[in-house]
């Protein structure tokens, strides 16, 4: 299977919604996406490196350099990638239910 290039349309509403989004809210949204995809196991691995700007050189502050989120969900069918991912904040989940009839979660804010 070859890589597929998808152009994502970003609306002004999406930009406004995410302009003040913090890392916790972004991570929570990705975890909710895994839950919506019926994942049973969700792993969040945060690789940290020493901050070169840290004032304490003996005990530097650790900062995230990479965040890898993996799960065991069903994934998105290759032939549906463009349909599902091309519109930021125009989610296909709004109009859909899961195979088991449950609706998808719509977590808007970190509580």
| Torsion over CA: 84, 14, 96, 39 (sign) | positive
What is the structure's pLDDT at 71?
A: 92
Measured distance between the N- and C-terminal CA atoms of the chain, rounded to whole angstroms: 40
d(CA 41, CA 11): 32
What is the structure's pLDDT at 102?
A: 67
Report pLDDT digits (tens) over 25-67. Answer: 888 888 888 888 888 999 999 888 888 877 777 887 887 888 8
Report pLDDT digits (tens) over 75-106. Answer: 778 888 787 777 666 565 666 666 666 666 65
pLDDT higher than threshold 50 for residue 22: yes
Report pLDDT digits (tens) over 7-21. Answer: 877 777 777 777 777
pLDDT higher than threshold 50 for residue 110: no
What is the structure's pLDDT at 43?
A: 93
Integer angstrom CA distances of residue 60 from 53, 55, 79: 8, 7, 46
| Torsion over CA: 43, 41, 38, 83 (sign) | positive
Report whether 74 contacts 34 (CB < 8 A).
no
């Amino acid at each position: 299977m070859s890589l597929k290039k998808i152009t994502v349309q970003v609306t002004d509403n999406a930009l406004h919604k995410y302009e003040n989004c913090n890392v916790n809210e972004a991570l929570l949204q990705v975890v909710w996406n895994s839950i919506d995809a019926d994942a049973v196991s969700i792993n969040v691995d945060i690789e940290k490196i020493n901050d070169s700007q840290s004032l304490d050189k003996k005990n530097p502050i650790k900062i995230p350099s990479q965040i890898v989120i993996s799960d065991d969900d069903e994934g998105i069918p290759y032939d549906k990638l463009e349909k599902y991912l091309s519109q930021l904040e125009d989610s296909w989940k709004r109009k859909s239910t899961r195979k088991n009839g449950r609706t998808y979660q719509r977590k808007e804010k970190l509580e």
